[in-house]
Amino acid sequence: MTVKHPASSQVMPERSQTEEEEEGEEGGKRAGFNENRGFDVWHLPESFDALTKLRVLILSRTSLRGEIPEWIGNMTSLTDLELCGNSHIGKIPAAIGKLKNLRLLELYYNLLTGEIFEEIGNLTSLVEFDCSVNQLTGRVPEQVCALPNLKLL
């Protein structure tokens, strides 16, 4: 059976009893596990290090916590790495410097500390690097300023 959406001419399937049972007590739809305040937040699964052909990894605003793991440097085909808007702590791992194909590195809005690693100078394909709104200290390494393709810092 179908039902006409009240705010448009769009026809939608009627909701099943199962879907109605999934609603919360206040009538709102239940949140997914990343939106569920009672769910224990998660870390990057170590099994991701086997994804050596993965080119784009976007895990922004997914409630990730903890340190960015060193094995992230094994994902050598990455061109885009976006881990912003989470609760990552610790230093930016120097292993990211092994990601020679990286063009976009977004780590903003986390709780990262320490200095920006000098190995970022190895990322000659890097176009955008945003690590703002963290608790980083020290100066931006000269190696970052020498990156030939960097357009946004």
Domain ranges of the chain: 37-145
pLDDT digits (tens, 9 = 90+) for 117-134: 899 999 999 999 999 999
Average pLDDT over residues 92-108: 96
Over 60: is that where the pLDDT of 25 sits?
A: no
Q: Is 100 left (phi over 0), alpha (psi -120 to 50) or beta?
A: alpha
* Unique residue bearing structure tokens 């989470």: 86
114, amino acid identity: G
Averaged pLDDT for residues 30-48 = 58
Q: What is the mean pLDDT of residues 105-110?
A: 97
Measured torsion, CA atoms of residues 66, 67, 71, 73, in degrees rounded to the nearest 10: 130
Q: How far apart are CA 53 and CA 87, in angstroms?
A: 26
Q: Are 89 and 67 in contact (CB under 8 A)?
A: yes
Topology of the domain comprising 37-145: 3.80.10
- Distance of alpha carbon 97 from its chain centroid, rounded? 17
Give CA angle at 138 (134, 143), nearest 5°. 100
> 24 pLDDT exceeds 90?
no
36/77 Cα distance (integer angstroms): 32
For 41-64, b/e burial (b = at least 16 CB within 10 A) is eeebeeeeeeeeeeeebebeeebb
Q: Is the pTM of this model over 0.85?
A: no
